[in-house]
Structure 1
C-alpha cells in the first residue's frame, strides 16, 4: 500500500518547481522569427554594437572574440572595455580588431561592471547594443538570432547562456541556476501574464537610443546584482523585459578556475539576489528546497525505522526530485543525469554558500570579486 499522506507531504513542495520554472523558452528560431515579423512590429537595425566589459579576461576572452569573427550577421562592431586589467586582455582585444576602451580611473560612486558597460555604450555607433560577458561565446548564427529576437520583442532582452562545464565541481552550480531562473519570473506557468523581475547579465540587448535616453547602466551604478536592478529600472520607465535561455544560441563556462572561484562568484550574488526576489517566488523556492531536504531526511530514517511508510515515501520522492532536476538542468547546461542523481552534494554546497553569502552581506558587509573588495551599503537590506 502506497504511503499517500507521506507522499503528499513530500511531493507538494516538489511540484512548486513546475510553477516557478515550468516554461523554459529559448530565443525564437530564425525561420519562426522571420515569419512572425511584419511591418508593424519589425524594428530596423542597420548595425549592432557588441560591448564586452572585461577585467583580467585573457583566458576567457579569446573564445568569444573567435565566435564573433564567424558570425553570419556581418554589420556589427566589437567594443572591449578594459577595466584596469593587469594581464593581456587589452592586447588580445586589439589583435582581434576590436575597439578597445581603457578605463583610466573608476569613479568612487560606480562599481566596475556597470561603469564598463556605460563607457562602452558611449563609444558605440550601432543601432542596437548587445552587452556580452567575456566568458560567453556565440554559435555561428547566434548574433543573428539575438538581433531577430530583439526585433520581435523590443524593450530590454536578455539571454542566459547555456552552461558549458568541463570539471566535476562546476556542476555544483545546479541549484543556483534553478533559483536564478525562478527569481526573474520569466519562466512561470503564467507566462507573459506576470512581469519579469530581472534580467540576465551575461547577455543583455537594448536599442542604443533608448538605453542612452533612460540612463542605462548609469541607473544601476552601485548595484552588485546590476542585471536585476537594470530590468527593474527599465520597467519603471515603462520598458518591458523579455528573458530567454540560450540553448543553441550562446554558451559560457562560468567558473573555470577552481571551486574557490565558483564559491566566490555565487557568494557575491546570492544574498543580494534573494533580497530582490518577490515574496511569492521566495516562498515557492523555499518550499521546493525544503522538500528536497525533507526527502533526504526521510530516506535517512531507514537506519532507525527500517522500511517504514515514511522511508518508502522518501525514496519515491527522491526519484521524483532526480527526474525533475534532470528535466530542468538539461536545458540549462551539460549537467547530465549524474548531477541530478547525486543532487544532495549540490544541495549541501548551495546551503553552505547561501550561509556564507548572508554573512558577507549582513555581517562583514563586503564581498570580493576579481581582485576588488566591494562594500555593501546598509540600504541593500531594505529591498526584500
Structure 2
C-alpha cells in the first residue's frame, strides 16, 4: 500500500508515533569532563558475584586513574569462582559480607557492606561488567561535588558484540526513553531513576536517604531505581563507544532474556504514566506501521539505527530486520510483566529473585 492509498488515519497515527521516538530520545547527555586536577578522594564499591571474567576489564583502567586516598573495594558476594583472587591481583581491597539478612537481596547487601567500610566523601558504585573511560572517576567526582544533593548515574554505552546480543536494542532504547532524562523536555521531566552500572553520590546524601539499607532499596532487585527514589533527585548521563562502556550479556541469548526479564517490567513500573503511554505508542507505531503502510519500513529502520546507536552497538542489518527486534522485545517484556504480576521468581546468578521485592 502506498502512502497515497493508505487511509488518513493510518498515516496520522504512524506519523505521531514515529515522531514520538525522536522526541522521547531527543538528545543523550554525556558526562562532562572534569576541569582541574584536584578532587576529594572517592571510594569505589564493586559488588561482584562470580565476576572473575569481567573484573580485569574494570579494574585495569580503574587502577590507572586512582588518585591518592582513593579506595577500590570489591565486595565478593559469595562467589564460587576466582572473583576474590582476581580482585586482589589488581590491588583492590576485598570484602566478604555475611549472607543477606531476611528482607535483603544480595546486591544491596553487598553495596551496603562496601559503603559501611569507608568514610569517603564520595561513593562510586560500579557493576563488574563496566569498562570505565580513562577519566571516569575524576568526571564523576566533579559532577557530585557540583551537586552534592543529587544522585549522579550513567548508563554505559552497551557493547553488543554477538549477533544474539542485538536483541537488546529495543530494550536499551525504551529504557533511555522511560527514564525521562533525554526527552525534548530535558531536565524539566524531573528524572528520579538511576542506572545501576554507574552510580555516584555524596556520603551526605547517601546517609540522609538511608542508602542501600533503606527498606525500599534493600528488598528490590532494581535497587538503583529505589535508591534514586529515596534520594529524590538524579542526574543521568550516557556513555559513548570511546568512553565508558559495558557488555551486559556475553553469555548469549539465555542470559540476555533472563537479565532483561529481571528488570524491564519493574523499571516500567516506576516510570511516570505519561512516559509509559508515549513510549508504548512509539513501540506500537514501529510494530504495526510498516504493516499498514509498507513504504514506512525504511523510515522505521533508519530511526531504530539512529536511536539504537545512542545507546550501544547497533548493526545496520539488525535495524533492517527490526520486526525481529520487536518480537524479541515483546517476548521479553511480556515475560518480565508476567513475572512481576504473578510474583514468579527469576533466577539470576544462582539466586531466586522475587520481582516484586518481597
TM (norm. structure 1) is 0.86
* 1:56-135 matches, cutoff 5 A: 56-71=50-65, 73=67, 75-135=69-129
Q: Find 2:294's aligned residue among 314, 320, 323.
A: 314
Structure 1 range deviating more: 351-360 or 278-287:
351-360
* Distance of 1:139 and 1:173 partners within structure 2: 22
Aligned counterpart in structure 2 of residue 13 of structure 1, from 5, 14, 17 = 17
Uncovered stretches (5+) of structure 1, i.e. residues with no partner:
35-43, 299-312
Match of 2:32 in 1: 28
Q: Which runs of 5+ in 2 are unaligned?
A: none
User: What residue is the counterpart of 1:233 in the other structure?
Assistant: 230
Q: Distance in 2 between matches of 1:73 and 1:340?
A: 42
Counterpart CA distance in 2 for 1:251 and 1:228 is 20
Which string of whole-angstrom CA distances, capped at 9 and with x for unpartnered residues, describes residues 144-170 of structure 1?
222223233431100000111211111
Q: Deviations over 1:178-226 (max 9, x none)?
A: 1111221111111111210311010000012321232111120101211
Q: Hey, what's the Cα distance between the residues in 1 that align with 2:265 and 2:186?
A: 26
Contact 1:81 1:103 in 2 (8 A): yes
**What is the deviation of 1:2?**
4.7
Structure 1 residue 366: Cα displacement: 1.4
Instruction: Tell me the equivalent position of 1:302.
Output: none
* Contact residue 45 and residue 128 of structure 1 kept, 8 A: no
Q: Of 144, 150, 169, which residue of structure 2 is paired with 1:150?
A: 144
CA contact (8 A) 1:145 1:249 kept: no
CA distance in 1, matches of 2:138, 2:39: 11
Q: Which residue of 2 aligns with 1:295?
A: 289
| Counterparts of 2:136 and 2:227, CA distance in 1 | 23
Cross-structure match for 1:341:
320
Would the aligned equivalents of 2:43 and 2:72 in 1 still touch at CA under 8 Å? yes
**2:134 corresponding residue in structure 1:** 140
Once superposed, what is the RMSD of the aligned Cα atoms?
Answer: 2.0
Match of 2:180 in 1: 185
- Alpha-carbon distance between aligned partners in 2 of 1:346 and 1:110, rounded to the nearest angstrom: 35
Q: Deviations over 1:323-346 (max 9, x none)?
A: 222221212112132222221111
CA 1:272–1:71 in structure 2 vs 1: closer, same or farther (change >3 Å)? same
Alpha-carbon deviation of 1:21?
Answer: 1.6
- SS of the equivalent of 1:373 reads strand
Report how many aligned residue pairs link the two structures. Answer: 350
Would the aligned equivalents of 2:87 and 2:93 in 1 still touch at CA under 8 Å? yes
CA distance in 2, matches of 1:187, 1:366: 32
1:285 is displaced (CA, Å) by 0.7
The equivalent of 1:171 in structure 2 is 166
Question: Counterpart of 1:368 in 2: which secondary structure?
Answer: strand
Report Cα offsets for 1:245-281 as digits up to 9, x if no partner.
0114311000001110000000111221121111100
Contact 1:72 1:144 in 2 (8 A): no
- Tell whether 2:246 aligns with 1:246: no
Mapped to 1, the partners of 2:33 and 2:260 lie a distance apart of: 31
State the TM-score, normalizing by the size of structure 2.
Answer: 0.92
